[in-house]
């Protein structure tokens, strides 16, 4: 599958090594649900793999919303990892696209 800025990695259980307040503004944020509320986590940097905080996986049902991403896996059970994302890899950010929120409204 093609992902615009993130790849899911199959990891059974992870614990985030970075607290929410330590995250920098990379322009990519994972939210608990589609209304941009509740638990969230900003990817601290690009070009490496980051574990998803357990608070997101504990309360989140698929799909996880990736703000700034054009497509994701609608049901993680389809690829055999249940309803959790172990970690994400941010390979890059298109700042112009991330600032264009029109597609977000269309997607929701």
Which of 29-33, 79-83, 84-88, 100-104 shows the lowest per-residue confidence on average (mean pLDDT)? 100-104
pLDDT tens digits, 7-57: 333 322 233 344 444 545 566 677 666 566 667 777 777 777 777 777 776
Which of 2-11, 54-63, 65-74 shows the lowest per-residue confidence on average (mean pLDDT)? 2-11
Q: What are the b/e assignments for 42-79, b being 16+ CB within 10 Å?
A: bbbeeeeebbbbeebbeebebebbbebbeebbeebeee
Task: Report if pTM > 0.75.
Answer: no
Q: Which residue has the higher pLDDT, 50 or 65?
A: 50
Contacts of 44 (CB under 8 A, 6+ apart): 18, 22, 23, 24, 26, 50
**Which one-letter DSSP state was computed for residue 21?**
G
- What sign for the dihedral angle of Cα 48, 31, 93, 95? negative
Write down the pLDDT at residue 48.
75
Answer whether residue 105 shows pLDDT above 70: no
Pairing, β 87-90 against β 65-67: unpaired
Write down the pLDDT at residue 45.
75
Percent of the chain whose pLDDT exceeds 90: 0
Answer whether residue 6 shows pLDDT above 50: no
């Amino acid at each position: 599958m093609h992902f615009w800025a993130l790849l899911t990695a199959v990891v059974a259980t992870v614990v985030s090594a970075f607290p929410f307040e330590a995250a920098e503004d990379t322009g990519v944020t994972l939210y608990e649900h589609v209304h941009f509320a509740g638990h969230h986590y900003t990817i601290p940097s690009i070009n490496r793999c980051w574990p998803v905080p357990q608070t997101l996986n504990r309360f989140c049902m698929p799909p996880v919303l990736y703000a700034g991403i054009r497509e994701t896996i609608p049901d993680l059970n389809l690829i055999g990892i249940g309803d959790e994302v172990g970690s994400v890899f941010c390979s890059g950010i298109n700042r112009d696209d991330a600032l264009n929120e029109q597609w977000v409204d269309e997607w929701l």
